[in-house]
Chains A and B, each alone.
Chain A
Amino acid sequence: MNKLLIRNLTLYSFFILLISIVISFIIMFYYLSEIKTLDSRLQKVSTAHNNFLKLKLNTERLLTTVELEPTKKTWKNTIETFNKAFELLPLNQKQKVDELWYASKKEIITIKELLNKELVSPVNLQAKPILIKQGELFANGDSSLLYFTLQELTKKIEYLIQYENFILDEFDKMEKIDINHIRKNTTQTIYHAIFFPLIILVIALFLMIYTTRKATIIEKNLLDTKEILESTILQEKDTRLLINNIINSIEVAIFWKDINGIYMGANNYFLHAIGLKSSDSILGKSDFDMPWAQKEAQNYIDDDNRILKTGKPRLNFEETQTTPNGDTIYLLTSKLPLTNTKGDQIGILASYLDITEQKKSTLELVHKDKLLAQQSKMAAMGEMLENIAHQWRQPLSVISTASSGLKMQKQFSTISDDSLYKTLDTITHTAEHLSQTINDFRDYFNPNKEVAKFDLKTIIEKTLYFVQSKLKNRNITIIKQFDNIELFGLENELVQVIINILNNARDAFEYIESDEEKLILINTLIDEKQDYVYITIQDNAGGIQKDIINRIFEPYFTTKYKSQGTGIGLYMAQEMIEKHMNGELNVKNKIFNYENKSYKGALFTIKIPFKMTKDK
């Protein structure tokens, strides 16, 4: 009922009052007409009742009268009179006495027959009542026909009187019922005459009170709602202002269109970008009215239509745009369908970020990376040349010694053919060895980046072969503990990474003055789940200083003299592991035991996905 509108309440109240009044009138009318009907019925019942009472009195008089003949006549007349009154009785009342009157009439017929007998004539009765005469005959022990006839007549009249009593009882009941009905209906009429106006008054009062109460509540609710609404509007305004400020202050272009691609608004950044001063000036325009190329406009509209059709947003995609100056800029755009509170699409909300500068920076970074890679390669080349030089020193010395010995023998004519051939074979063999060395280095420094299957142990052995001469020169002992692990990947890059780490360790030993044995421990292992392959390279060069350990993978960071290091070796190594092999390259200082002696040094860990490499 609380949700009931006052308008409806008034309508209902009107109907209730109307119905109450109508019902009151109907009921009053009903009771009054009932009283009238009952009164009419009661009159008929009373008439019949009175007639029947006369009949009964006359029936009884038949037994006691000395004037039997006139009584018989009167009795018969009262029968007729009652019979007429009986026929006029309402059906319901008639039915109540019908069977009784029927049985009585049958008895009346036999009584009439007996009364009409000559035997029961006044002469025979000697002007005495039937009962008296019968008593006399009984007392005299008379068992004549007259006695038995009178006895029979008496019993039949008594039997009739019994039925007459039943009929009178019924009339009494009918009259009582009718009188009671009339009384009750009269009472009801009075009762309703008082009760219904009171009820209507109560209803009216109730409705008035209820309506007033309802109106008060509604008024209060309205005031409360107004306050809340005002507060909400203020909050809304603040929120909108804040949103506008945010939208207009951020360096992102934001705009929105209707479902027909017509611009409905935009933030200042966007307006500024397209050379408009106010948001009103963009209203009603489409992409074709914008400064960008027609083809771009068409692309944007197609894009919008796709989003509206699918209902799915398109986020963070790159696209180009021609500025009013004719420049091409790069945009990182997001578009999503705009819906109202019912969930219906009403347009497109879009934003973009001008990433032209970032794009340029990225290109520069790519270029820089390429440069770094080149520098790294050059450094590696330098290293390799040094290594080759080391490799070549001894064979060149052999060739030099052999050729100078041969020259000396010739000068002193002590050379024999056998010695000549032997020495020449040595020179040839050594020259072939040098050539083989070049081939080996060339193979492993080939910039080929084809993924191939390789054995990790072989790769590490080969790497150590490249750097062995420099390590031996510095009395660095390599301790190897690795298994044959088959991997898929860029083996030359892995070689380059390991060389960089080994070179870094070798250089670290340069800066320490210690009599301790110089150790580099190389281990390989696969984790329990066989997800990763780990290659650890541990030295005992004292470790990396805490303040620089987090910076050693930065490009151009070096602790060496400019002539000794470029600062890009470890940077490139990490780049290769992370970007080309989806792995990790980390370093930490670690104290470890080797042959019951404790050492401290840097531990480089190369972590390569095993399954991924295997899948490849």
Chain B
Amino acid sequence: MIKLLFITILVIFFTGCENKTARSDITQKYLNETITIITPNLGKQISGPILKEAKQFAQETGATIRVVTPSWADTIPKIKESIIDDKINYDIFVTMTSWSGFLFSNNTIEPIPQWAKDKLDWKDILPIYKKNILSWNGVDYAYPYDGDCVNLYYRKDIFSNEQYKEKFQREYGYELLPPKTWNQYKDIAKFFTGWDWDNDGKVEYGIAESRLKGYGTILQFFTQAAAYTKYPNDKAYYFDSDTMKPRINNPGFVKALEEYIELMQYAPHEIYKFSPRDVRVNFIGGEVAMCVDWANTGTMAQNAKESIVKNLVGYSQLPGLEKAYNSQTKKWDTLFNSPSSISGNWVLLVNKNSKHKQLAIDFAAHMSSKKITSDLVTRGDSGVNPSRYSHFENNFDLWDKHGFSKESAKKYLATLQQALNNTNVMTDLRIEDSEKYYNVVSLYIDKAIKKELTPKQALDKAAKEWDIITNSIGREKQSKLYKTSINE
């Protein structure tokens, strides 16, 4: 008993001395753990929901989640810098598809563990994204945040105007319908350019497209060029996959760029300053009859405060072309070529060297979960578009909540679904230093847009510089990466 007394006294003493700062709150599962997420500053879009959810997740789990939002241009350099500098650490990279290739290939990304797949319901993800965006060499790395898909949006109220239809029929000899080809697109754009077709006292235009130097413009170009030269049975698009010889200056791409520039005359004069956001603003502001854009336009038209085209928007597949340039035979073949574009997806990648990997994976899985994304895809300002089977299910309450009529939601989703079911699909370039390739081609296309170079000259120069970049990295290495990226 004397021993018991002795022990009791000691316990009382040391219990009294206990530092009671360690709380036993079981819900604070990541207390004192910190992760940093890097995502480009895109305003409310893409990075906006992440900032909001990071705050919520941190409150719920006790974690500290820092979100840094450098400029678009700084994002990739900063990610690359963090890989070589031990003192700069990002736990989650929020990247576009084109940026993920070098991260996958350099073994810097943690594969998605099964528990995270279970959490985010991996089976619910559409196969087209799993295959072309989220995996690399058979391993699933990327958390599906945004499932991008480029489509055509048009003013269905204007297109159904009998007077206009008759006029169009008279002028072009065929019925005014959503365009099936880029030629029709051009005709319709021309038809609706330079007059007040909505009777608002202002002159309107046929189209709005991104032409500001940068990613938006260049991804749109490659999207539209796909109809010209993304040959159905050829997985390769940007390069010959064996030789890594650029295809961007082939007749298909040149023709596409010519048309891309020609179309600008049917858009507002400021088109050369248009970023994708400007395109959306112009369309929902009733300034243009058509636009080609990611799925964001569809949602913004319905739920943006500025939208005057709510329930007036029609959705259609990207226009195709009645011929396509075959890069292998180097000939134009007559066929209706209408590839889809899943360019510009945003994914979350967990750094393999993260000091708090569990927390990072947990947050990435949370951010890309059905619960979070199902809400975001219905909101135009989120920049997040459908990527799951469940996003296409008849869950119209959410759509209704964000301004979609059931009819509009159905048609919008049906259009996206049709595009995502297309077997001929154009994806972003995912090789080492993709951004360099994009920057080069962006520079020269801009020069072509500004008439400083002809399309042919611009693309020849771009192709030449692509070769230089490829040689500097290693042709064989890039060939291998390119093949992997297109699952060849």
Most buried by A among B5, B19, B89: B5
State the CA gap A553–B6 with chains docked (Å): 88
B2 near A1 with CB under 8 A, answer: yes
Contact B73 A23 (CB under 8 A): no
- Given A27-B16, A184-B19, decide whether A141 and B270 contact each other with a Cβ distance below 8 A: yes
Answer whether residue B88 sits at the interface, using C-beta atoms and an 8 A cutoff: yes
Establish whether residues A99 and B2, one from each chain, have CB atoms under 8 Å apart when the complex forms: no
A166 at the interface (CB under 8 A from B): yes
A120 sits at the interface (CB 8 A):
no
In the complex, are the beta carbons of B87 and A99 less than 8 A apart?
yes
Q: Is A219 an interface residue (CB 8 A)?
A: no
State whether A203 touches B9 (Cβ < 8 A): yes
From B1, B20, B21, B81, contact of A1 by CB (8 A):
B1
- Minimum distance in angstroms from A485 CB to a CB of chain B: 84
Whether A192 pairs with B16 at a CB distance below 8 angstroms is yes
Interface core residue of B1, B6, B17, B69 (most chain A CB under 10 Å): B17
A162 to B90, CA, bound (A): 14
The answer to whether the Cβ of B66 comes within 8 Å of any Cβ in the partner chain is yes
- The reply on A578 being an interface residue by CB < 8 A is no
CB contact list, B18-52 vs A, under 8 A: 19-21, 41
Which A residues lie within 8 Å of B41 (CB)?
Answer: 155, 158-159
Indicate if the CB atoms of B71 and A159 lie closer than 8 Å: yes
Q: Does B242 contact A (CB under 8 A)?
A: no
Most chain A Cβ neighbours within 10 Å, of B6, B16, B74, B273 = B16
Chain A nearest CB, measured from B77 CB (Å)? 10
Dominant secondary structure at the A interface: helix
A102 touches B88 (CB 8 A): yes
Asked if A99 contacts B273 (CB within 8 A), the reply is: no
**Contact in complex: B21, A156 (CB < 8 Å):** no
Q: Is the CB of B2 within 8 A of A9?
A: yes
CA distance A163 to B66 in the complex (A): 9
Our count of residue pairs bridging A and B at CB distance below 8 angstroms stands at 74
Are B12 and A102 in contact, with the CB atoms below 8 A? no
On whether the beta carbons of A20 and B21 are closer than 8 Å, the reply is no
Contact of B9 among A4, A159, A199 (CB under 8 A): A199
Chain A residues near B270 (CB-CB < 8 A): 141
**Interface members, chain A 305-339 (any B CB < 8 Å):** none
Q: Mark B80-123, 1 if CB is under 8 A from A, else 0.
A: 01000001110000000000000000000000000000000000
Please determine whether B9 and A16 come into contact, CB atoms closer than 8 angstroms: yes
Q: Which chain B positions have C-beta within 8 A of A564?
A: none
- Flag if A16 contacts B71 (CB, 8 Å): no
Task: Tell me, in angstroms, the Cα distance from A9 to B1 when the chains sit together.
Answer: 11
B88 close to A103 (CB less than 8 A): yes
Answer yes or no: A181 CB below 8 A from chain B CBs: yes
List residues of chain B with CB within 8 A of the CB of A177.
Answer: 21
Interface string of B242-274 (1 = CB under 8 A from A): 000000000000000000000000000010010
Contact B273 A143 (CB under 8 A): yes
With A141-B273, A143-B273, A162-B68 in contact, do A27 and B17 touch (Cβ < 8 Å)?
yes
Interface string of A176-216 (1 = CB under 8 A from B): 01001100100010011001100100010010000000000
Q: Is A98 part of the binding interface, using a Cβ–Cβ cutoff of 8 Å?
A: yes
Q: Within A100-124, which residues are at the interface with B (CB < 8 Å)?
A: 102-103, 106
Known contacts being A155-B70, A159-B68, is A99 close to B89, with CB within 8 Å?
A: yes
Known: A16-B5, A99-B89, A163-B68. A156 touches B74 (CB 8 A): yes
User: Which residues from B are CB-within-8-Å of A195?
Assistant: 16
Q: What's the nearest-Cβ distance from chain A to residue B393, in Å? A: 38
Residue A12 at the chain B interface, CB threshold 8 Å: yes
Q: Which of A274-293 contact B (CB under 8 A)?
A: none
B87 adjacent to A162 (CB under 8 Å): no
Q: Is A483 part of the binding interface, using a Cβ–Cβ cutoff of 8 Å?
A: no
Chain B proximity mask over A13-32: 1 for CB below 8 Å, otherwise 0: 00010011001000100100
* Complex contact B71–A152 (CB within 8 A): yes
Given contacts A141-B273, A155-B41, A188-B16, contact A12 B9 (CB under 8 A): no
User: B21 contacts A206, CB within 8 Å?
Assistant: no
Q: Which residues of A contact B19 (CB under 8 A)?
A: 184
Question: Nearest chain-B residue to A173 (Cβ)?
Answer: B64
B2 and A12 form a contact (CB under 8 A): yes
Please state if B16 and A155 are interface contacts (CB–CB under 8 Å).
Answer: no
Interface string of A448-462 (1 = CB under 8 A from B): 000000000000000
Contact residues in A for B66 (Cβ distance below 8 Å):
166
In the complex, the chain B residue whose C-beta lies closest to that of A99 is: B87
* A103 partner, pick from B16, B73, B87, beta carbons under 8 A: B87
Task: Given A141-B270, A143-B273, A188-B17, answer yes or no on A159-B12 (Cβ-Cβ < 8 Å).
Answer: no
Minimum distance in angstroms from B236 CB to a CB of chain A: 34
- Selected contact of B70 from candidates A98, A159, A203, CB within 8 Å: A159
Residues of chain B within 8 A of A103, CB atoms compared: 87-88
A selection of 18 A-B contacts at a CB cut-off of 8 Å is: A1-B1, A12-B2, A16-B6, A27-B16, A27-B17, A98-B87, A103-B88, A143-B273, A155-B41, A159-B68, A159-B74, A162-B68, A163-B68, A169-B64, A184-B20, A184-B21, A192-B16, A195-B16
Taking Cβ atoms with an 8 Å cutoff, the residues of A that contact B are: 1, 4, 9, 12, 16, 19-20, 23, 27, 30, 98-99, 102-103, 106, 141, 143, 151-152, 155-156, 158-159, 162-163, 166, 169, 177, 180-181, 184, 188, 191-192, 195-196, 199, 203, 206
